Amino acid sequence: QVQLVESGGGLVQAGGSLRLSCAASGRAFSTYAMAWFRRAPGKERDFVAAISGNGGITNYADGVQGRFTISRDNARNTVSLQMNSLKPEDTAVYLCAATGGLAPTTYIKYAYWGQGTQVTVSS
């Protein structure tokens, strides 16, 4: 099974940038699609970005495409989310997730989850 630990969250002003990282432990990391979801207070998880096991395909939520970039380094068992031009509405707990599928965009399809890292954007 896959264990996931997120890091890199923090507080930034609107327009700033953050880079989140997700460290994975387990076998055959490259066979898992990875994704980032986020959960604002009182809300369910929303899809942010996903990437296939070999990095060949990526999917982004409409609200982050062009601002966020998901990437992975299979040699290091890590997935990153570069977040630029941050907005207050990006404030949420960001969670890393893994699945044996392609690169789905729904949280139900992800079997493994990290604990999350807080991102707060103020202005």
pLDDT in tens, 38-73: 999 889 999 999 999 999 999 999 999 999 999 999
The confidence band for 27, taking pLDDT boundaries of 50, 70 and 90, is: confident
pLDDT value, residue 115: 97
pLDDT value, residue 66: 97
Q: How many Cβ atoms sit within 10 Å of the Cβ of residue 31? A: 12
Is the separation of the CB atoms in 122 and 26 below 8 Å?
A: no
What amino acid is encoded at 68 in this protein? F
What amino acid is encoded at 26 in this protein? G
How far, rounded to the nearest angstrom, does the alpha carbon of residue 13 sit from its chain's CA centroid? 20
